[in-house]
Amino acid sequence: MLPQYLESIGVPYHIIENDTYSIVKRIIPEGKTTCSLCSRLRRGSLYGYAKAHGITKIALGHHRDDIIETFFLNMFYAGKLKAMPPKLLSDDKQNIIIRPLAYCREKDINRFAAFKQFPIIPCNLCGSQENLQRVAMKQMLAGWDKQFPGRVETIFASLQNIAPSQMADINLFDFANLKREIDLDATPVLPDDAGLDILAR
Residue 191 lies in a domain: no
Q: Give me the percent of the chain exceeding a pLDDT of 70.
A: 86
Distance CA 10, CA 175 (A): 57
With cut-offs at 50, 70 and 90, classify the pLDDT of residue 64.
very high
CB 24 within 8 A of CB 125: yes
- Most confident option among 15-19, 31-35, 141-145: 141-145
Structural domain boundaries, residue 36:
2-162
With cut-offs at 50, 70 and 90, classify the pLDDT of residue 149.
very high
CATH number, domain at 33? Answer: 3.40.50.620
Which residues face 97 on adjacent strands?
Answer: 58, 88
Residue 183 lies in a domain: no
Distance CA 135, CA 159 (A): 21
Question: How many Cα neighbours within 13 Å face the side chain of 190?
Answer: 8
Number of domains comprising the chain: 1
Question: Any idea what DSSP says for residue 162?
Answer: -
Residue 129 lies in a domain: yes
Which residues face 59 on adjacent strands?
Answer: 98
CB 75 within 8 A of CB 155: no
Residue 100 has pLDDT above 70, yes or no: yes
Question: Any idea what DSSP says for residue 83?
Answer: -
Residue 195 lies in a domain: no
Residue 184 lies in a domain: no
